[in-house]
Amino acid sequence: MQKLYVYILSKFLALKRRLHIIVYKVYNPYPTIPKNLFFSPSDIIKENCKLEYNKLNYLEKKKPHSKWKKNAKKKFIDLLCLNKNLYFKEVDRIKMPIKNGYSRTRIYVEFAKNRHAPIDIIMSDKFKKFKGIIICMQGTNSGAHLSIAEIKMPADIYKVINGSAIAIQAADKGFIAISYERIGFGERQERKLSKANPSPTIDFSFHSLILSKTSLGETVSEISILVKWLKNNYKNHPVWLKGYSAAGTAALVAAAADNNIDGVAIGGCIGLTKETLLDRGSTGYNDIPNFYEWMDQDTIISLVSPRPCIIVAGVKDHIWPYKYAIKALKVPKIIYKLENAINNLVLIKAKEGHTYYPEIMWPLIVKYLSNIK
């Protein structure tokens, strides 16, 4: 009888909780917190943010920008914990299905022992000569298949309608499109851990931290190896990175760390740390130990200079709104101007929220790459 009673009671409490969430959006069975007391862990974070950080803040260093930039890049690369043991080995190459008018060649790549990834090369049949190469990456979505307009999950159809097919778009504009599957997503999602976290990046991110690595550093290391391979195999073709949201972060960080990357086109990922990352739940993907002690995102953007950095930010973006992007570009504008490249730093104000903006982004990318001699 006791087991039955416990079972019925647990089901009742579960139903009560669910109904409470439906009606009130939240379930909190605990006593009201007394006034002027702070129990939430995020309150601790906010107070810690008030301590002295950003030791490499350009506005406070008063050093020649070239020296500051050199020191900042060295520290940034140290913080990223890049993996220097990766390589590019082609394991297999096959033709993959794609809609009419395009070719899709898949390369299965080995980056290290027991570390592989699918890389798709997409071209439009309309072109014999290409403007350049665009490495296309998806954000925190179901996978890289969205870049070629494939629908595999229920929400994918909305993503495709809203402009997720960036590899197809790149091919349509006369570029060689490279669809790269980031670690933890799509075909590279976790399949072997017991009780893997539903978030695709949390397990890898925090397990990496235990090993003194970072998920961003591991991703950037792969991107750098891929860029090197592309430049060796497609001579005289500029290589750009394109991504939104978390993929925009990966693109920006990769360009800051690797000068072989010729430009970036990103969206939904620009803002200073306190106002963006620390104001919402974390997936671990953007977390770099000691990062905020030394710098903020404005330093990362500055490290891309003088190369083109095209940014689109939506005024209604619930994570990275335009108003925060403006603040994050204060220092980069100074650096780009000092390096006679102010026209290569572009921030476009979009009317909507956290989404793709192909109609805004592609004309700018084509413009910049068409001007390359």
What domains can be seen in the chain, in order of their start residue? 2-59 (no CATH), 89-370 (3.40.50.1820)
Q: What is the mean pLDDT of the chain?
A: 93
pLDDT tens-digit profile of 103-156? Answer: 999 999 999 999 999 999 999 999 999 999 999 999 999 999 999 999 999 999
pTM of structure: 0.92
Residue 349: beta bridge partners? 313
Output the pLDDT for position 170.
97
Looking at residue 51, the DSSP 8-state letter turns out to be: S
Mean pLDDT of 315-327: 95
Cα 198 off chain centre by: 18
Output the pLDDT for position 239.
97
Alpha-carbon distance of 324 to 115, in angstroms, equals 37
* Alpha-carbon distances of 177 from 68, 101, 145, 189, 355, rounded to whole Å: 35, 14, 13, 22, 20
Which residues are CB-neighbours of 323 under 8 A, at least 6 positions away? 315
3-state secondary structure of 177: strand
Both structure tokens of 299? 């330093």
For tokens 């506005």, the residue is: 59
Alpha-carbon distance of 53 to 43, in angstroms, equals 17
Looking at residue 5, the DSSP 8-state letter turns out to be: H
Q: Which of 28-37, 190-199, 238-247, 278-287 has the lowest mean pLDDT?
A: 278-287
Output the pLDDT for position 13.
82
Task: Assess whether pLDDT exceeds 50 at residue 373.
Answer: no
Angle between helix 215-233 and helix 65-80 axes, rounded to 10 deg = 110
Output the pLDDT for position 327.
96
Both structure tokens of 279? 């104001």
Mean pLDDT of 183-206: 91
pLDDT tens-digit profile of 24-63? Answer: 888 888 888 999 999 999 889 888 887 767 888 887 766 7
pLDDT band at 89 (very low <50, low <70, confident <90, very high): very high
